[in-house]
Amino acid sequence: MVDKQSSVIGKPIDRVEGRLKVTGKAKYAAEIATENVAVGVVIQSTIALGHIEKIDRRAAEGSAGVLAVFTHENRPMTLTETKEGKNLFLLQDDQIRYDGQIIGLVVAESFEQAEHAASLLEISYKPEHANTDVEKCANEKQKNLIEVKDSHYKRGDFASGKAAAVALIEETYRTPTETHNPMEPFSTIASWEGDSLTLHDSTQAVFSVRQNVATILGLAADKVRVVSSYTGGGFGCKLSVWAPLVVAAMAARKLDRPVKVVLSRHQMFGPVGFRPATIQAITLGAKGDGTLTAMGHHAVQETSSFADFMEEVTICTKSTYACANVDTQHHLAHLDIGKPTWMRAPGHATGSFAIESAMDELAYKLKMDPIELRIKNYADKDPDSGLPWSSNSLRECYKQGAQRFAWEKRNPQPCSMRDGNQLIGMGVATALHSYWRNPASASVQLLADGTAIVQSGSQDIGTGTYTIMTQIAADKLSLPVEKVSFRLGDSNMPKAPMSGGSTTAVSVGPAVAQASMDAITKLKQLAVGDKKSVFFNADASKIEAKDGMLFLSSQPSKTESYASIVSRTRSKSLKVEANTDVGENEKNYSINTFGAQFAEVRVDADLGIIAVARFVGAYDAGRILNAKTARSQMLGGITFGIGMALTEHTIIDHNFGRIINSDFAEYHIPVHADIGAIDPFFLDTKDEQANILGAKGVGELGITGVAAAIANAIYHATGKRIRDLPITIDKLL
């Protein structure tokens, strides 16, 4: 059952770490003061496939300040041959599998010295032709195009549903390779003390890094400590362990001194993951009244030749709309590229572009309002699992979003709305994101000065974890926010899951809440057993807590402070730890977040220049834990979606298999001047079934459906349906 309305949870309080960040006192991984630290610069391959014939290290090794140049010829450590370690290519051999593969590390006294020495390396290769074209692979049905095992999903009779359709859409939609570009690139400082390794790392997964690095290096997990007090964004790429981190640890061991490695912006392209390109064939069939009779979604997605990565792009198709007859399938094209990875709302963001664009096309074919078509096919329960929704306010999202956006002013005819030379278009799309929760632990320590220290080895990737956990603890401890200190980012703290899939708030939050409530329970027990307490021998169930004080519900004037009770304990503190897991309700209900995305675009009639003038998002994400940080997440997600729709595209020259736009000059992400008015809002529905907080997570819902809403608006403005992202001027002209 969700707790009573709180005076703290949900409020738009400022970030508790905000002042540290704006004053520069918040230290990120590369900024940790480390005595005698050396600096490493990674060396990347300049071919996409083949092998190294020769590396001449002499000039580099003789350069000023250089401590070592490590390659496959003098790898600094022997590794445990795990599958993951092999797939990272930690200088094991001379083989090149993809453009930008890490093939060496130069370590020097300073960054400038390491950079200069790296430029002196002479490397010769024997290149081979690299297969990097997912389109060609799919069209030619090459032998490296493999159906994902157990990916063929069927519901009902798709063929009969398609045959019964009065209106039919059969189109193909494409999304390109996209590269994560968090403000903070990958950064690591590796330090050894004997056989124990400490990593200050920019990560989204403190405990996952600890376990994976320990496995690769052949260490016990308790011999690796990972610290990540602040992470400057990740968007999925920092969920994994990549080669630069492990190579830094190897070099530090060999040199017997700390080694820092920070990737450049250029080095973020290729060796540390990306969103894979997809080709998505969509079939939608409907009756004349808009009732869906068939939904088909067959996807081809690129992955590396050496390791599978599947982005489940059909996930929204299975659950968003009520349709009896569904057929989805997923193929992987194994190419000579790096390993893809998760990128903000993986599967949901990519798949929703295809299915929500197709729904818009179907609406036009049926001459129905796009919102009306979606409401017509609203699912009263999860069509995939058959389970009841834990809560679903999607209808209300459509209604309130449309009102706020002024959808009623939209003329449904394409090319019908204009302001001077600007073509105006309005588009809508549904947003849906899955709910995932993982086991988590947290500890609470009440101190003799009346304050509390709360800890969980989670990480704050810029989303506001410090703040919302402080709010949860303050509420459950019945303490002012300023008396609660929440600490995270250390594998020596209670175990917490990775921050991906919008899981942190709904995993760590309940653990913090439970530990806080257990701390108050233990405090009451101490009081009733303490002869010096005013509550000695009282009924603990009759004692309540408020503002750092205990009091009897029958005698509110009979009080004692937490500080007074704790100060009489031998340790002058009270500490508890709680562990939480998935609840039974989460197994009996389908839990998702929902939303309706509304975009207004303006397109220059002569030049084809596109601007997103307005964006409104209406969201059902359960209980909102901090109104300010949650809104900020949606602003970021929508902006991310604008980039997905209009600008972001990692381009590979298929003649050579090389990325040709690995910098901000050519890989375009939205900046302030690109962004119009964004107006996200929440229904704040408090999901009674999700967890004790009623929250469902917000981090990735904001991007889902954004690209489709913009594409649909562009069609409404111009009459041109663009099915290949990003939608650039040349495609309109």
Q: Measured between alpha carbons, how far is residue 72 from residues 76, 107, 246 in Å?
A: 9, 15, 14
| Contact status, residue 64 vs residue 113, Cβ threshold 8 Å | yes
| Contact status, residue 601 vs residue 714, Cβ threshold 8 Å | yes
Between helix 348-366 and helix 627-646 the angle, nearest 10°, is 70
User: Is residue 95 exposed (0-12), middle (13-18) or buried (19+ Cβ within 10 Å)?
Assistant: middle
Q: Kindly report the number of other CB atoms within 10 A of residue 209's CB atom.
A: 26
| Contact status, residue 550 vs residue 535, Cβ threshold 8 Å | yes
The yes-or-no answer on residue 700 being catalytic is yes
Helical H runs in 478-571? 504-528, 562-567
As a whole number of angstroms, the distance between CA 454 and CA 254 comes to: 37
- Which of 17, 302, 560, 700 is an active site residue? 700
Burial 445-475 (b: 16+ CB within 10 A, else e): bbbbebbbbbbbbbbbbbbbbbbbbbbbbbb
Secondary structure class of 629 (helix, strand, coil): helix
As a whole number of angstroms, the distance between CA 119 and CA 60 comes to: 8
Secondary structure class of 266 (helix, strand, coil): helix
What sign results for the dihedral spanned by CA atoms 573, 579, 583, 586?
A: positive
Query: What is the rounded end-to-end Cα distance, in angstroms, of the chain?
Result: 56
3-state helix, strand, coil in the chain (%, to 5): 30, 30, 45
For residue 547, which amino acid is it?
D
Cα angle, residue 440 at apex, residues 448 and 700 outer, rounded to 5°: 115
Tokens of 172: 């193909």
Tokens of 240: 């994994």
Burial 610-631 (b: 16+ CB within 10 A, else e): bbbbbbbbbbbbbbbbbeebbb
Q: Strand 187-193 and strand 196-201: pairing? A: antiparallel
- Residue 71 CB-half CA count within 13 A: 22
Strand partners, 210: none
Q: Kindly report the number of other CB atoms within 10 A of residue 385's CB atom.
A: 11
Q: Strand 484-487 and strand 452-455: pairing? A: parallel
| Contact status, residue 304 vs residue 242, Cβ threshold 8 Å | no
Strand locations in 336-476, DSSP E? 418-419, 422-434, 440-447, 452-455
Tokens of 24: 């520069």
Active site residues: 700
